[in-house]
Amino acid sequence: MRVTVRSFAKINLGLSIGSLRPDGFHDLRTVYQTIALHDIISVQVNRGNGIEIRCDDPRVPTDATNTCYRIAERAIDALRVRGRIVITIEKRLPVQGGLGAGSANAVAALIGLETALKKKLPGTERLRIAAEVGSDLPLFLAGGTVLGVGHGEEVYPLPDLPATACVVATPDIGVSTPQAFADWDGMIAKGTAEGERPHVDRADHGVKWTPQAPSDRMLEIGRALSAWLSGQPLSGVPVSKGRGRAETSLLDLVRTGIENDFERVVFPKYPELRKVKSVLEGSGAFYASLSGSGSALYGLFRSRATAAKAVARLRRAGVPAQATTTMTRQQYWKKFLVSSS
Ligand code: C5P
């Protein structure tokens, strides 16, 4: 059986970096949003043993370090199955672009594999395996608008934001995420020495996901985010006592403004990326930002027509860019499967 699925990318609507934890990860607070740009992943299970990764793009490793390999290895172990697994990656998304492509590929491979084997892992097991492979994987098990805390792997599906026109610029620069975190630590150490920005101290461990309906509070904040996307200021987020931790995280993110902390270390290193953000803003984006640690940037637009003009303007400036849209959870799952035969 051959199963083909779409591996959708994500952008980050704000990303706040907290302290460096004893396990080597940083506390994070972010809102992930899936978008329609995607890679294509095919999974085939044949007789025999082993995992084979095929990809024409020389930047993608096809050995045991590939995220698809790493998740397939864990999945066949947990599912207690045998077979020769062939995973083919058709690359369209940038590598090291901050769009979560490698992470999305792994989740797509996991779901493709389960479909091909007609076997499913329990939800908690899926989340555990996904988080083991990388911080950005669990969000793709939810899709749509997702709050990420912990080191990004603790995910809370949020009420979906409306599908919004989006432009993704993909400058030909690969940014190493571990390096960007190290640069952040360097900046904080220097800043603390100079008496600047106090460090947030949190320590979250383990994979958590509240699949049940979000609380009234989360719905309220989610609605505030939606309103922000439709042009209203974010200031109307009300206060109430007795909030849960996820709610507090989301509220903090909304209150401090939807900003990506990585811009503070990535832009000084790659000034051309700051210029791309300015072009997006100058082309009518109501919000523009680096995605993750970059180098991809995105702009959100009120109309597809304005988004199309922004794409043309970026391309004229020599920056690869594509128009797309944000994807609700329902759209994400509806479009996930391409074929199974
Ligand atoms: O989990 P993932 O494989 O994406 O992380 C890659 C590296 O990025 C980690 O080994 C760590 O150095 C860094 N990282 C971090 N804090 C996070 C996520 C990643 O320091 N929240």
Asked if residues 336 and 141 have their Cβ atoms less than 8 Å apart, the reply is no
Ligand 1 atom at minimal distance to the Cα of residue 27 = 21
Going from the N-terminus, what domains does the chain have, and what CATH number goes with each? 2-158 (3.30.230.10), 166-325 (3.30.70.890)
Rounded Cα distance between 24 and 226, Å, is: 34
Which residue do the tokens 């939810």 mark?
142
Rounded Cα distance between 42 and 85, Å, is: 10
Higher pLDDT, 97 or 64: 64
Rounded Cα distance between 281 and 264, Å, is: 18
Q: What's the whole-model pTM score?
A: 0.87
Our answer on whether the CB atom of 136 is closer than 6 Å to any ligand 1 atom is yes
Rounded Cα distance between 100 and 105, Å, is: 9
Mean pLDDT across 108-127? 96
Residue 264: is its pLDDT beyond 90?
A: yes
CA of residue 151 to ligand 1 center, whole Å: 7
Tokens of 53: 């990764």
Residue 1's nearest CA partner among 93, 106, 81, 90 is: 81
- Which residue of the set 27, 39, 136, 183 is catalytic? 136
Annotated catalytic residue 136: yes
Residue 121: is its pLDDT beyond 80?
A: yes
Our answer on whether the CB atom of 25 is closer than 6 Å to any ligand 1 atom is yes
Annotated catalytic residue 77: no
Q: What is the pLDDT of residue 205?
A: 33
Tokens of 326: 């944000």
Residue 139: is its pLDDT beyond 70?
A: yes
Rounded Cα distance between 84 and 50, Å, is: 5
Tokens of 273: 């990326």
Express each pLDDT in 32-78 by its tens digit: 999 999 999 999 999 999 999 999 999 999 999 999 999 999 999 99
% of the chain residues with pLDDT over 90? 70
Residue 151: phi and psi, rounded to 5, are -100, 25
Confidence of residue 203 (pLDDT cuts 50, 70, 90): very low
Residue 213: is its pLDDT beyond 60?
A: no
Mutation to probe ligand 1, out of 21, 26, 66, 260 (largest number of atoms < 8 A from CB) = 26
> How many C-beta atoms lie closer than 10 Å to residue 111's C-beta?
25
Our answer on whether the CB atom of 262 is closer than 6 Å to any ligand 1 atom is no
Confidence of residue 252 (pLDDT cuts 50, 70, 90): low
Residue 26: phi and psi, rounded to 5, are -105, 145
Tokens of 6: 């779409």
CA of residue 162 to ligand 1 center, whole Å: 30
Rounded Cα distance between 267 and 275, Å, is: 9
Higher pLDDT, 121 or 258: 121
Our answer on whether the CB atom of 151 is closer than 6 Å to any ligand 1 atom is yes
Confidence of residue 212 (pLDDT cuts 50, 70, 90): very low
Residue 201: is its pLDDT beyond 60?
A: no
